[in-house]
Amino acid sequence: MAEAVAIRLRQAGMACDLAESAEAAEDFLAVQRYDVLVLDINLPDRPGTELLAGLRRRGLRMPVLMLTAVFSVETRVSALDLGADDYLVKPFDHRELVARLRALHRREAEQKSDEIRLGALSFSPGAMEARLEGVPLDLTRRELALLGALIRNAGRVIGKERLYESLYSFAETDVGLNAIELYIARLRKKLAGSGVSIETQRGLGYRMVGDD
């Protein structure tokens, strides 16, 4: 399966190395920086979750997508708590894997970009912080993620599905698209009177606009 994944990723234009064990992965990571790591929970020499925990303890922050044949809430939550960014259950469609890896890489690149400004509002992707007139806004992690997606595309209409992807990087079956409306309402309340607003384009999505 690992060899098939590597072939598919290369066909999609992604350069990749294949490590057959946690020890081999450690050797690769010692000499090479990677944009994204695909990590199976079940490795021959030790659990992939142990490797993940070690990476995070050492401050290595590259996005990690976990693979497993076990589907349970406990397993998923454990991996995410250890620092996984996304999750796929085997068997999976290789097209979905490629799409998720591209999404993880895109989010990582966006988070490293410079501060974004729109009127009185500023957003720092690296620090995950938003300010109005220099004063930090009290926003939850989800609200910050949504704000980031909107301000990066200021003036353009963003569909609900795209915004949903910015909030939830793995399948959360108990959360639907309507959750976007709740977070939009919260952001509007916190941005009220600032000159920055979120417009609803019925049937299309949302657009953030601000005073020049």
Sheet holding 37-40, edge to edge: 37-40, 64-68, 86-89
Residues in the chain: 212
Query: Bridge partners of 198?
Result: 208
Residue 38: how many CA atoms within 13 Å on its side-chain side? 26
How do strand 121-124 and strand 129-132 relate by DSSP bridges?
antiparallel
Bond from prior residue into 63 cis (ω within 30 degrees of 0): no
Query: Bridge partners of 209?
Result: 197
pLDDT the model gives residue 195:
92
Give the separation between CA 138 and CA 189, rounded to whole angstroms. Answer: 12
pLDDT 10s digit of each residue in the chain, 212 long?
889 999 999 888 888 999 999 999 999 998 888 889 999 988 999 999 999 999 888 878 889 999 988 767 777 777 778 888 888 888 899 999 999 999 888 877 666 656 889 999 999 877 778 999 889 999 887 888 889 889 988 898 988 888 887 776 544 444 567 788 889 999 999 999 899 999 999 888 999 998 75
Question: Which is nearest to 151 in space by CA: 86, 94, 207, 75?
Answer: 207
Residue located via tokens 């220099």: 134
pLDDT the model gives residue 129:
86
SS3 of 22, please? helix
Interacting residues of 105 by C-beta distance below 8 A, sequence separation 6+: 35, 36, 63
Alpha-helical regions (H) of 89-178: 94-111, 141-152, 160-167
Q: What share of the chain is helix, strand, coil (3-state, %, to 5)?
A: 40, 20, 40
Query: Going from the N-terminus, what domains does the chain have, and what CATH number goes with each?
Result: 2-110 (3.40.50.2300), 114-210 (1.10.10.10)
